Amino acid sequence: MNRQAARRSARIAGPDAGVRAIGRSLAVRNFRLFFTGQLISVMGTWMMIVTQDWLVLSLSDDSATVLGLVTALQFAPMLFLSLYGGRLADRHDKRSILVVANLVSGALSMALAPLVITGAVRVWHVCALAFCLGVVNAIETPTRMSFVHEMVGGELLPNASALSAAYFNLARILGPALGGLAITWLGIGPVSVLNAVSYLATVAALLRMRPAELLRGSGTVRDARTRDALRYVAGRPDLLLPLLTVALVALFGLNFQLTLPLLAKTVFHADAGSFGLFTSAVAAGSLLGALAGTRREGRPSAPLVAGAAVAFGTAEALTGLAPGQGGALVLLAVTGFTALYFTQAVNHRVQLGSAPGLRGRILALYTLLLQGSTPFGALLTGRFAARYGARAALVAGGLVSLATGLAALAFLAIRAARPGTDDARARDG
């Protein structure tokens, strides 16, 4: 063990070693600023998500199809632009891209406020703003994910990535609950203003960073090409399998933006004050899943990724069968834990197995599969829920996710049993 590693081990030793290990990447000043700014900003975003869902359902007479359309428009740009976003992240300064993206997102949120306050808002306004925000997110998401490595380096990457999921889900717990209350107390227009202002927290954090402490390596990759990343993944079964698994699970199972509002309003008839509790229940479980991931120090195995998909599918299907609201909230928390654990396992397996020079583009591919499939998933789930109900949509999504995980486990077992696959077993283990 070198001297630096010995000092690090000494710092986390003692009775509170577990707590210190969970937050060890927060010792990096730039990441600590980023964590704080994102926590505030994402809390505002989740307040707005709940507000937007409530607004759309109110304007469309609780239409699952219209809600599915808005969700599809918000995530459609991921399908077409996220790979380009990854290319931009590999070619240009990530901090500057993130500053511009957050300023534009804040301006778009502010644009909705006067429409709501004056009573002029229509469904097409929400659709247009959702699409524009989706364009920004398609650039911002792969840039933000790859920027984490610049802030903390490869050794702390799993911990910082898990903490990023933790702040996202902590905001996901507080934001929807506050959003539901804010709708009741203030109205939808003021919530849009609060969300717009919250983006300034991330902008301030980015501007206060010390650029000299960012780990930018040899500089940007001016000749970055998307097809290089696609060829790389195609030749790496250990990357291709988890990416295909997350694509199918995201398409059919991870449609909470649609299924949760429908479950809350059409099955359990929740009012605005308790509307956000359903999203918060998923987020509470996801937060625990993120905290579990902070202790990860190595690359997760392929069977662990597939097994996590099985666990998620089982939990989601059971949620759709829950007879009462209390049981549904508990099962939603379990679903959130397994969903986050699965997506983080895929994220870490892909990041820690990829070449550094391709990281932005490969994370863009991960984002494309995880979020770019949402437009199709939202439309399919919306049509399915409109015909068979929100419960059936949850059960169907869970069963497809369960079958996907089982198929991945079967593939791994067959591949490991073939003669001459020692290298494959070593890589997938």
In whole angstroms, what is the distance from residue 165 CA to residue 22 CA?
13
pLDDT of residue 101: 94
Residue by residue, DSSP assigns 193-206 as HHHHHHHHHHHHHH
Query: What is the domain extent for residue 346?
Result: 26-216+226-428
pLDDT of residue 5: 40
**Residue 20 lies inside a defined structural domain of this protein:** no
**Residue 125 lies inside a defined structural domain of this protein:** yes
**CATH code at position 360:** 1.20.1250.20
pLDDT of residue 47: 82
**Residue 361 lies inside a defined structural domain of this protein:** yes
- Picking from 131, 50, 125, 135, the residue whose alpha carbon sits closest to that of residue 101 is 135
pLDDT of residue 315: 95
Q: Which residue has the tokens 């820690």?
A: 352
pLDDT of residue 400: 94
**Residue 250 lies inside a defined structural domain of this protein:** yes
**Residue 10 lies inside a defined structural domain of this protein:** no
SS3 of 158, please? Answer: helix
Residue by residue, DSSP assigns 58-99 as HHTTS-HHHHHHHHHHHHHHHHHHHHHHHHHHHHS-HHHHHH
Sign (positive/negative) of CA torsion 423, 427, 428, 429?
A: positive
**Cβ atoms 412, 404 nearer than 8 A:** no
Sign (positive/negative) of CA torsion 138, 106, 340, 270?
A: negative
**Residue 120 lies inside a defined structural domain of this protein:** yes
Q: Which residue has the tokens 């600590």?
A: 32
- Picking from 144, 118, 112, 117, the residue whose alpha carbon sits closest to that of residue 131 is 112
Q: How far from 134 is each of 41, 128, 137, CA to CA, in Å?
A: 16, 10, 5
Structural domain count, the chain: 1
The pLDDT profile of the chain, 429 residues, written as one tens digit per residue, is: 433 343 344 344 444 555 566 778 888 999 999 999 988 888 888 888 878 888 888 888 878 778 878 877 887 787 778 888 888 887 888 999 999 999 999 999 888 888 888 888 888 888 898 899 989 988 898 889 888 888 988 778 778 888 887 877 777 777 777 777 777 787 778 888 888 899 999 999 999 999 998 887 554 455 556 677 788 888 888 899 999 999 999 999 988 877 887 888 788 877 655 666 787 788 789 888 888 877 777 788 899 999 999 999 999 999 989 888 888 889 999 999 999 999 988 988 887 777 767 777 888 888 888 876 766 887 788 888 888 888 899 999 999 999 999 999 999 998 888 765 544 444 555
Cβ neighbours of residue 213 under 8 Å, at least 6 residues apart? 28, 29, 30
pLDDT of residue 398: 93
**Residue 336 lies inside a defined structural domain of this protein:** yes
Structural element, H or E, at residue 406: helix 390-417
Structural element, H or E, at residue 306: helix 302-320
**Residue 19 lies inside a defined structural domain of this protein:** no
